[in-house]
Chains A and B, each alone.
Chain A
Amino acid sequence: MAEKKGLLKRLAEGQVWTSIFRGGGVPKSRRQRMMIVLNSVFLHLHPVRLPKHAVKLKFTWCMGGLSFFLFLILTISGILLMFYYRPTIEYAYTDIIDLAEQVPFGIMREIHRWGAHAMVITVWLHMFRVFMTGSYKPPREFNWAIGVILLLLTLLLSFTGYLLPWDQLAIWAIAVGSNMARATPFLGSEGPGAAMLAIGDINFVTVASDVRFALIGGRFLGEATLLRFYVLHCIGLPFIIMIFMAVHFWRIRKDGGISTPV
């Protein structure tokens, strides 16, 4: 007669547990532990084994990890804000006031704002660390290029989020920012080369057809601008940045793991 098994043991050997966690229960060898990590969608995101130097704060500053952590915070708090915020000229500003003064835990909006500031800082510091430790050198040069794109996307997320409160600061910041787009070579109506894209008197790159128009959805900042920035901020840019982040993280492992102090 077999001994009566404890509840935990029966759970661990039952169909529910073994169908979710492959690899045969509690790992007893290094290989078994590795198999469990590799077979879990969440665990496999992390390396099976970490070298000691990889957790040395003095070397990495953990700035990449912190940037990702802040991205998660921004995603969650951002989704929560979307339940209250309406991207129209009539409601945008008052909805932000409403979030701060009336909605329970309206500090969510401040968390989103502080987190955004912090993420810009950590991404820059991460870049600084990677540069100072020479971690951009081969074989990691491609991942450095991906990182530059991620920095750009972080700044664009900041820029598009800046307009959403629709206060004076927001409108004038975007007025200045979007006017710079006028000077884009060939694509901006006042940029170098734009006048060359014409047949006779008909200009193809005008105030109503240039890159600034595509960005703000009109010739002036208005309802269309707010909506475009909202969609870019909540859907477009996060979608793109997540694809690049996946490549970035994957490449860290494929390029030989986190860089080592020489």
Chain B
Amino acid sequence: MPEAKNKKTATISPSSPPPAALGQADDGSGLTRRSFFSWLSIGWIAFVAATGGFFTMMLRFFFPNVLFEPVQTFRAGIPDDYQVGEVDLRWKAKFATWIVRNDEGIYALSTTCTHLGCTPNWLSAEQKFKCPCHGSGFRKTGINFEGPAPRPLERFRIALADDGQIIIDKTKKYQQEKGQWADPEAFLKV
């Protein structure tokens, strides 16, 4: 049959070069199999390095050097501005800090709930901080006693400046469960 004959002619032509010839530079360019692979390796290393460098740049790009955030240190007036036994709310909105004075002195409580970061409210009738998000409750000292909060509120560094004003530094935090409330800078004796 004529169709079968056509199929037979479709084999590889005998004039194609044997595989051994591929390793030799036969076109005068000096490119051998060996040098091709070393150039290929250099190319790949350069590509991976460039890509890696770019991704490193991308990652670093997301961490700016200057932050336009509110200042973390503030002067909170003189100790006599605060009454013994009171939770003072005047810095709550601006600096997220409660200032509490007891018989011995003054401490600055963070208004950030230790559960998931909402802001609790001071309920003076019940003498507790109550978080509206998930119901965590804290005593006036900051100790947690109800709800899902796993640990007490944090306290900020508090000290007296040369001019007699209270300075509160929010970049330094003191945690009760780590025994840090005993630190002299976590509590201002008055």
List B residues at the A interface (Cβ < 8 Å): 62-64, 67-70, 116-118, 133
Question: Cβ of B116 and Cβ of A213 under 8 Å apart?
Answer: no
List A residues at the B interface (Cβ < 8 Å): 172, 175-176, 178-180, 208-209, 213-214, 217-220, 222-224
When distances are taken between beta carbons in the complex, the residues of chain A under 8 Å from B118 are: 172, 175-176
Question: Cβ of A223 and Cβ of B116 under 8 Å apart?
Answer: no
Total CB contacts across the A-B interface at under 8 A: 32
When distances are taken between beta carbons in the complex, the residues of chain A under 8 Å from B63 are: 208-209, 213-214
**What's the minimum C-beta distance from A241 to chain B, rounded to whole angstroms?**
19
Question: Cβ of B133 and Cβ of A172 under 8 Å apart?
Answer: yes
Q: List 16 A-B contacts (CB under 8 A).
A: A172-B118, A175-B117, A176-B117, A180-B116, A208-B63, A208-B67, A213-B63, A214-B62, A214-B63, A217-B62, A218-B67, A218-B69, A219-B69, A222-B68, A222-B69, A224-B67
Contact of B116 among A176, A209, A219, A220 (CB under 8 A): A176
Known: A176-B133, A218-B69, A223-B68. 7 other contacts (CB 8 A): A172-B118, A176-B116, A176-B117, A180-B116, A218-B67, A222-B68, A224-B68
Q: Chain A binding site: helix, strand, loop or mixed by DSSP?
A: helix
Q: A175-B117, A175-B118, A176-B118 are in contact. Are A219 and B133 (CB under 8 A)?
A: no
CA distance A176 to B70 in the complex (A): 20
Q: A172-B133, A214-B62, A214-B63 are in contact. Are A179 and B116 (CB under 8 A)?
A: yes
Q: A172-B133, A209-B63, A213-B63 are in contact. Are A179 and B117 (CB under 8 A)?
A: yes
CA distance A224 to B69 in the complex (A): 10
CA distance A217 to B62 in the complex (A): 7
When distances are taken between beta carbons in the complex, the residues of chain B under 8 Å from A175 are: 116-118
**What's the minimum C-beta distance from A129 to chain B, rounded to whole angstroms?**
33
Identity of the chain B residue whose Cβ is nearest the Cβ of A175 in the assembled complex: B117
**What's the minimum C-beta distance from B174 to chain A, rounded to whole angstroms?**
15
